[in-house]
């Protein structure tokens, strides 16, 4: 990065601050590779897709805080300070997300124990592939959390028979869901292309 | 979202950004001082011997130390509003002022007879002093945080601490106009305690409100 970049960038940002969109785009395009370089160097532990997210966070911060640059002062120290701050911030956010203690979410987890309508619907659709008795077993296990003994009593089967029927039903379900998720995956990719 | 798309949408927002408005910020802080000032004028008042006490070194320092802290810490907090200035920040004047205060405190401690120490520390107006300084400091502290949020401090907790220090010291400077306790063992200890409370509050505020 040369002196030329410095003068160019400050000229572009000055023009941007007077409402010149083209200059602003040039400025942002100009700084992006530099920002990306810093992100790569500091966040090497994260995946490449995360790097892009952080680069965008930095660009947004530059945008939100562009009034803190004094037009008569050097631009690069200002730019690097913002970038460094946002990269550290992003790493901290991602770092703590992994180490959050599970107790903090006890309430949330408890609240999710009830079957969601969507889960219920997906399960209904999947269950259509298997016989009614197996359906009832799967429903009892996955939605009500019943154990084998309770189910055996309810359906007047032996516990062993329940276990075998459940196992077979699950195998079928997994097969069916793999087929349907492959289909869903294809639609996802198509959507990705459209975007 | 792709980075190019983001840039394209940001570029559309090119305009003259609202500046830091330092003057407006300063006015806001002065407005925040109105509540403590009105309270001071109506229910406290200047000490009757005020202009004369400035002639004595100890009472001059009683006003001068918090005033100096206010100016240095306040200037530092404002400076930190711009990124890239954190490194250029020099806080040694704060250390000098603190050293002067500590020396004065030690000097008073050494020349006070042991039997009189208790009375020197507790004074007559301890409760009022310990309430007034932090409470007066709260008002500029709140508006100060609002002003600093416009900036982009790369050290939010330090910014908050400096703001809290400046507000606490400003409150102590004002309160010293009223307070007639002239023993350094009293005013350095308890003004210091009030300023410390305000600094701690400022640090917390920085932690939660000055990050961006």
Residues A130 and A74 in one domain: no
Q: Minimal Cα distance from A194: which residue of B?
A: B1
Nearest CA-CA partner of B28 in B148, B134, B133, B131: B148
Q: Which helix or strand (DSSP H or E) is residue A13 part of? A: helix A3-16
Q: Domain span at residue A69? A: 3-100
ipTM over 0.85 threshold:
no
Residues A10 and A94 in one domain: yes
As a whole number, the mean pLDDT across chain A is 74
Residues A67 and A135 in one domain: no
Q: How far is B149 from chain A (nearest CA, A)?
A: 10
Residues A8 and A53 in one domain: yes
Asked whether the beta carbons of residue B14 and residue A24 sit closer than 8 angstroms, the reply is yes
In a domain, B136, yes or no: yes
**Between residues A3 and B125, the one the model is more confident about:** B125
Asked whether the beta carbons of residue A32 and residue B7 sit closer than 8 angstroms, the reply is yes
Measured distance CA(A171)–CA(A194) in Å, rounded: 35
Taking the C-alpha atoms of B186, B190, B195 and B200 in order, what is their torsion angle to the nearest 10 degrees?
150
pLDDT at B29: 74
- What radius of gyration do chain A's Cα atoms show? 28
List residues in chain A touching B: CB distance below 8 A. Answer: 16-25, 28-29, 32, 52, 55-56, 59-61, 63-70, 77-78, 80-82, 84-85, 89
pLDDT digits (tens, 9 = 90+) for A153-171: 888 888 778 777 777 777 6
Placement of tokens 């601490």 in the chain = B161
Q: Which of B7, B17, B154 sits opposite A17 (nearest CB)?
A: B17
Residue A194 has pLDDT above 80, yes or no: no
Please state the rounded mean pLDDT for residues A46-52: 79
In a domain, B187, yes or no: yes
Q: How many domains in chain B?
A: 1
| Chain A partners within 8 Å of B86 (Cβ) | 81
**Between residues B165 and A125, the one the model is more confident about:** B165
pLDDT band of A119, cuts 50, 70, 90? low
| Chain B partners within 8 Å of A14 (Cβ) | none
Residues A70 and A145 in one domain: no
pLDDT at A126: 66
Enumerate residue ranges in chain B where pLDDT < 70: 1, 21-22
Q: Which of B3, B19, B86 sits opposite A52 (nearest CB)?
A: B3
Please state the rounded mean pLDDT for residues A181-189: 42
Dihedral class, residue A156 (left if φ above 0, else alpha if ψ from -120 to 50, else beta) = left
In a domain, B137, yes or no: yes
Q: Minimal Cα distance from B85: which residue of A?
A: A78
Residues A65 and A154 in one domain: no
Q: Domain span at residue B30? A: 21-209
- Domain harbouring A184, CATH code: 1.10.10.10
Q: What separation in angstroms does the CA of A106 have from each of A100, A103, A113, A130?
A: 12, 5, 11, 35
Q: How many domains in chain A?
A: 2
In a domain, B30, yes or no: yes
Measured distance CA(B101)–CA(B90) in Å, rounded: 19
pLDDT band of A50, cuts 50, 70, 90? confident
Asked whether the beta carbons of residue A82 and residue B211 sit closer than 8 angstroms, the reply is no
pLDDT band of A152, cuts 50, 70, 90? confident
Residues A138 and A171 in one domain: yes
Three-state DSSP class for A116?
coil
Q: Which of B3, B154, B212 sits opposite A81 (nearest CB)?
A: B154
Residues A68 and A87 in one domain: yes
In a domain, B15, yes or no: no
In a domain, B12, yes or no: no
Q: How far is B150 from chain A (nearest CA, A)?
A: 8
- The DSSP code sequence of chain B is --HHHHHHHHHTT-S------HHHHHHHHHHHHHHHHHHIIIII---TTHHHHTTSHHHHHHHHHHHHHHHHHHHHHHHTTSTT-TTT---HHHHHHHHHHHHHHHHHHHHS-GGGHHHHHHTTTHHHHHHHHHHHHHHHHHHHHHHHHTS--SSHHHHHHHHHHHHHHHHHHHHHTT-----HHHHHHHHHHHHHHHHHHHHHHHHHHS--
**Between residues B111 and A107, the one the model is more confident about:** B111
In a domain, B112, yes or no: yes
Residue A182 has pLDDT above 80, yes or no: no
Q: Which of A20, A59, A89 sits opposite B6 (nearest CB)?
A: A59
Residues A94 and A116 in one domain: no
Dihedral class, residue A153 (left if φ above 0, else alpha if ψ from -120 to 50, else beta) = alpha
In a domain, B5, yes or no: no
Residue A173 has pLDDT above 80, yes or no: no
Sequence-ordered list of residues with C-beta below 8 angstroms from that of A139, at least 6 positions apart, any chain: A123, A127
Residue A186 has pLDDT above 60, yes or no: no
- Domain harbouring A8, CATH code: 1.10.1740.10
Sequence-ordered list of residues with C-beta below 8 angstroms from that of B204, at least 6 positions apart, any chain: B160
| Chain B partners within 8 Å of A35 (Cβ) | none
pLDDT band of A97, cuts 50, 70, 90? very low
Residues A87 and A141 in one domain: no
Q: Which of A52, A65, A80 sits opposite B152 (nearest CB)?
A: A65
pLDDT at A112: 44
Last residue of a domain, one of A51, A79, A100: A100
Residues A12 and A94 in one domain: yes
Selected residue of A67, A80, A89 to mutate for chain B interface (largest B Cβ count, 10 A): A67
Residues A13 and A84 in one domain: yes
Q: How far is B129 from chain A (nearest CA, A)?
A: 39
Three-point CA angle A122, A123, A126, nearest 5°: 90
Chain A / chain B CB contacts < 8 angstroms = 79
Asked whether the beta carbons of residue B17 and residue A21 sit closer than 8 angstroms, the reply is no
């Amino acid at each position: 990065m040369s002196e030329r970049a410095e003068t160019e960038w400050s000229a572009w940002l000055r023009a941007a601050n007077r409402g010149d969109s083209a200059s602003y785009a040039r400025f942002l395009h100009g700084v992006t590779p530099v920002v990306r370089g810093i992100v790569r160097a500091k966040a090497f532990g994260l995946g490449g897709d995360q790097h892009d997210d952080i680069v965008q966070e930095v660009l947004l911060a530059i945008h939100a805080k562009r009034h803190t640059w004094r037009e008569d002062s050097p631009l690069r120290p200002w730019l690097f300070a913002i970038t460094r701050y946002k990269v550290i911030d992003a790493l901290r956010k991602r770092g703590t997300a992994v180490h959050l203690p599970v107790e903090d979410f006890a309430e949330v987890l408890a609240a999710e124990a009830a079957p969601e309508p969507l889960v219920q619907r997906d399960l209904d659709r999947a269950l259509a592939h298997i016989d009614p008795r197996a359906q009832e077993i799967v429903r009892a296990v996955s939605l009500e959390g019943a154990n084998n003994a309770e189910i055996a009593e309810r359906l007047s089967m032996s516990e062993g028979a329940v276990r075998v029927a459940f196992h077979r039903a699950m195998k079928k379900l997994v097969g069916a869901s793999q087929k349907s998720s492959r289909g869903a995956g294809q639609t996802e990719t198509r959507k990705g292309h459209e975007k | 979202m792709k980075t190019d798309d983001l840039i394209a949408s940001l570029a559309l927002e090119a305009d003259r950004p609202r500046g830091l408005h330092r003057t407006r910020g300063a006015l806001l802080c002065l407005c925040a001082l109105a509540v403590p000032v009105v309270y001071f004028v109506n229910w406290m008042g200047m000490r009757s011997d005020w202009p004369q006490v400035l002639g004595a070194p100890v009472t001059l320092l009683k006003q001068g130390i918090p005033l100096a802290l206010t100016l240095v810490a306040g200037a530092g907090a404002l400076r930190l509003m711009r990124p890239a200035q954190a490194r250029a920040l020099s806080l040694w004047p704060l250390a000098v002022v603190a050293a002067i205060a500590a020396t004065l405190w030690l000097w008073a401690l050494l020349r006070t007879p042991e039997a009189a120490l208790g009375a020197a520390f507790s004074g007559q107006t301890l409760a009022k002093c310990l309430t007034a300084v932090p409470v007066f400091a709260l008002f500029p502290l709140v508006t100060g945080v609002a002003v600093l949020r416009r900036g982009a401090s790369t050290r939010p907790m330090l910014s908050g601490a400096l703001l809290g220090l400046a507000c606490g010291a400003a409150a102590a400077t004002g309160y010293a106009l009223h307070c007639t306790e002239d023993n350094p063992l009293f005013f350095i200890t308890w003004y210091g305690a009030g300023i410390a409370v305000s600094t701690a509050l400022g640090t917390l505020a920085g932690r939660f409100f000055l990050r961006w």
